[in-house]
Amino acid sequence: MQLIPSEFVIGDVYFPPLLIAALVGFFAAWLTTQLLNRYRLSRFFAYPPVVLLSLAVIYTVVFGTFLIPA
Amino acid sequence: MPLSIRFKESFKTALAMTIAYGIALGMDWDKPYWAGFAVAFISLATVGQSLNKGALRVLGTLVAVVVALTLIALFPQDRWLFILALSVWVGLCTYMMAGGKYQYFWNVGGFVVVVISASAAPDSVDAFHIAVLRTEETGLGILVYSLVAVLLWPSNSHAEFNAAARKLAAIQHRLFQSYLGLMNGRGDSAEVPSLRAEVVQQQTQFGQLLAAAQTDSYEVWELRRQWRRYQRQTADLTQTLERWRESFAEVQELDLQRLVPDLAAFGAELEGRFAQFERMLANQAPERSPEARDLALNHGEARSLSHFHQAALAVTHSRLQHLERLTRSLFDSLADIKGFGQTVAVSETASSRGAGVVPDPDRLAGAVRVIIILWLAFLGFIYVPDLPGGAGFVSMAVPFGMILAASPQLPIMALFVPAVTGVLFAGLLYVFVMPQLSSFFGLGLMLFAVTFAICYLFAAPRQALGRVFGLAMFVVVTSITNEQTYSFLTVANTALMFPLVFLLLAVSTYFPFDLRPKWALQRLLGRFFRSGEYLLSTMRWDPQRSPSRLDRWRKAYHARELASLPQKLSAWARFIDTKALPGTSAEQVQALVTSLQALTYRMQELLEARANPHAEFIIQELLQDIRAWRLRVQEAFGRLSRDPASGDNQRARAILEDILGRLEARVEETLNKASEEQLSAQDREHFYRLLGAFRGLSETLIGYVANAAAIDWVRWREARF
């Protein structure tokens, strides 16, 4: 496992990988919920706002672990 | 070439901003942008409006300074008790801010306490210095703007106020003409919705300009009590016109010319009064004084009608009589104001007298929302290391939260887009322009140019949010001081702070109450019918016995709910996303809300008719029948409060026809055996009003059920992200 944290560099600005993973994770969660709305699958969830939050966390962890590891 | 108002107003704000910064920097004060803030937030269209807002900002700041220093002194070492006390104060301010009076005072009073506390967070020794600094810089900004507004192209509100008063009178006149035509079976009902909307809009504008004109016009200040009375009377007139219109459905099939022989002359008299209002508002002496008129009914003809038709006639008749009295007192008020008549004593009306403080659940929910935002921001500040913005994160989240609490319908994106645009624009200036400036000459030019550009480009009233956020972000991000340093981190941190602030605001849209329009609308519908059910249940109270304090309080609460909920529902209905609800159109939602307003008027009519004294004979004979009818309506309200879509239009109509048929016979039988001593003419009138009000309520309820049936409630109730 890589012990030195890898960072994103845009120009001369360094961004922490978790921030990028969180941004991508939130976008992916939002996209998923739009699709669920589009196909009327949202009605199967008791309280969609919590689902959005949970999806954002799940995606962030998945992306942070596999795609953009620290 | 004459300069446009847009140019002049933008120029004044830009000049005030530059001078305020110049003085603050010249005095070597810390945080000179607080003076800039004051200029940005109080600049409004007229001197009076700006002075009013400025005065409220100064007063709010002074109160906030005292509260902030007291809280810091009381809890210097205990952050939890401190934040607890702070949230109580902020909650109170948010609650009061959503009320009708001194909204901006409460707004400033709430968030400035948070700003001072957050600024003093690193070291409470500085608290006093910061509080004084905030006060003097707010005072400076307001003083500079006021002087600029008064000396440079002063625009007095008096002319605008007079124009607004004339326009309001003209629209109410047109509404009256339109309703008179409709009652007589002619006229165009298509123009009514737009006229009604115009009246509401004009009434709001009249109120705002009255507040401004009494500040910048001595003539209006001298007559402010009379103008306030006139304002109340015009509001009453609008409501009376609406309640009158609601009674048309049942009388349109009657031959009114025969039943009310004086109706044409009566209509012409009222019509003449409206014309005189407009004359007086144009400073012309009235051509004639109103004649007191008693609208006599042709009782012989009226007796030949069915009892329910007589009841409908009684309701319309009472509305017309009320209209007659109201227009007469309006005439007297205007004649007094314009000096064409005698002075009329002004009496202040007290609302919900004897019922104590009646809380508003929506304002309470707004206060809870802001407290949650404050706590989340505070917890973030304490427990998240290097949170972008630091203590500024807390002081930025609360004002945004308060704006949203006052207008919960506002989508967060409506605030997010101007805020982000403002940050980006100010960031570019900060990074690329400001490092090139070396003296106040250059800085002043930039301040002037940017402020002028923002004010000029966002001059329309509907762009007010863009203007305020543009200026505020410019002031925050540039953070101008005498020892100016430049760091990309400042912009980056501010830019990062905003998504976090908006994330907090988004969280507070879903927790603890779901504030999305489609859910809010359903909740309000439930509350509307619950209040209706309760008010109907109060009709069983014995008029001889005084109700307990708790009962009076509950009745006042539900009466206020019933009167205010249709307006709140109308505000929410505009934000319903009908694209996400196939099969439901915006017109259908609006029709639903309109039928609720009609239900409110009918309920008020019923409660008023019930409050009249009724003959003992009638009570003995018909109590059981009326009671049974009330219980049916009450039960329907109860059912609708649990499910606003329940009810079958056809079935309800059949039940009502059945009740009307049976009651007609019972009333006939009862009135036939009543002697003159047992039933006076007034008793008959009171009874018919009650009967008419019951029927009106039932008919309107059926109308609501029909409107509700047109909406696809299955899709409406579906959970969506």
* Separation of alpha carbons B593 and B399, rounded Å: 31
pLDDT greater than 50 at residue B434: yes
- SS3 string, B332-391, reads HHHHHHHCCCCCCCCCCCCCCCCCCCCCCHHHHHHHHHHHHHHHHHHHHHHHCCCCCCCH
pLDDT greater than 60 at residue B620: yes
Both tokens of B108, joined, read 């400033």
pLDDT greater than 50 at residue B350: no
Q: Mutate one of A47, A54, A55 to test the B interface: name it (highest B CB count within 10 A).
A: A47
The verdict on a CB contact (< 8 Å) between A48 and B721 is: yes
Which residues in chain B have Cβ-Cβ distances shorter than 8 Å to A37? 580, 720-721
Q: Mutate one of B412, B493, B511, B721 to test the A interface: name it (highest A CB count within 10 A).
A: B721
- Report the residue of chain B nearest A47, measured CA to CA: B719
Both tokens of B679, joined, read 């039933």
Q: Give per-residue burial for B97-117: e unless 16+ CB within 10 Å, then b.
A: bbeeebebbbbbbbbbbbbbb
The verdict on a CB contact (< 8 Å) between B718 and A42 is: yes
Residue extents of the structural domains in chain B? 5-155+359-510, 157-338, 517-717
Tell me what the pLDDT averaged over chain B comes to.
88
Residue B137 three-state SS: helix
DSSP, res B541: S
pLDDT greater than 90 at residue B543: no
Q: ∠ CA(B612), CA(B618), CA(B624), 5° rounding?
A: 105
pLDDT above 70 covers a percentage of chain B that reads 98
Level-2 CATH architecture, domain B517-717: Up-down Bundle (1.20)
The CATH classification number of B157-338 equals 1.20.58
The verdict on a CB contact (< 8 Å) between B719 and A48 is: yes
Please tell me the predicted confidence (pLDDT) of residue B325.
Answer: 92
Backbone angles phi, psi at B542, to 5 degrees: -75, 120
Backbone angles phi, psi at B574, to 5 degrees: -65, -20
Please tell me the predicted confidence (pLDDT) of residue B217.
Answer: 83
* Separation of alpha carbons B261 and B300, rounded Å: 12
Confidence of residue B601 (pLDDT cuts 50, 70, 90): very high
Residue B609 three-state SS: helix
Predicted complex ipTM exceeds 0.90: no
* Separation of alpha carbons B174 and B201, rounded Å: 15
The verdict on a CB contact (< 8 Å) between B721 and A46 is: no
Which residues in chain B have Cβ-Cβ distances shorter than 8 Å to A49? 510-511, 514, 721
Please tell me the predicted confidence (pLDDT) of residue A70.
Answer: 67
In this complex, which of B510, B514, B721 lies closest to A42 when CB atoms are compared? B721
CA distance B594 to chain A (A): 29
Residues of A with CB under 8 A from a CB of B: 13, 33-34, 36-37, 40, 42-43, 45-49, 51-52
The verdict on a CB contact (< 8 Å) between A43 and B514 is: no
Please tell me the predicted confidence (pLDDT) of residue B615.
Answer: 81
Which residues in chain B have Cβ-Cβ distances shorter than 8 Å to A43? 718-720
The verdict on a CB contact (< 8 Å) between B721 and A43 is: no
Both tokens of B138, joined, read 């707010």
Please say whether the beta carbons of B60 and B114 come within 8 A: no
Long-range interactions of B429-434: CB distance < 8 A, separation 24+? B429/B474, B429/B477, B429/B478, B430/B477, B430/B478, B430/B486, B430/B490, B430/B491, B431/B486, B431/B488, B431/B491, B434/B478, B434/B484, B434/B486
Which of B44-58, B171-185, B515-529, B556-570 has the least mean pLDDT? B44-58
In this chain, the answer to whether the domains covering B157-338 and B517-717 adopt an identical fold is: yes
Please say whether the beta carbons of B288 and B272 come within 8 A: yes
Indicate the helix (H) or strand (E) that contains B160.
helix B157-183
Please tell me the predicted confidence (pLDDT) of residue B352.
Answer: 46
Which residues in chain B have Cβ-Cβ distances shorter than 8 Å to A33? 721
Residue with tokens 């968030």, as numbered in its chain? B111
The verdict on a CB contact (< 8 Å) between A42 and B492 is: no
In this complex, which of A13, A37, A46 lies closest to B720 when CB atoms are compared? A37
Q: Mutate one of A43, A45, A50 to test the B interface: name it (highest B CB count within 10 A).
A: A43
Confidence of residue B719 (pLDDT cuts 50, 70, 90): confident
CA distance A22 to chain B (A): 12
- Report the residue of chain A nearest B512, measured CA to CA: A49
In this complex, which of B488, B580, B720 lies closest to A48 when CB atoms are compared? B720
Which residues in chain A have Cβ-Cβ distances shorter than 8 Å to B510? 49
pLDDT greater than 90 at residue B295: no
Which of B445-454, B532-541, B542-551 has the least mean pLDDT? B542-551
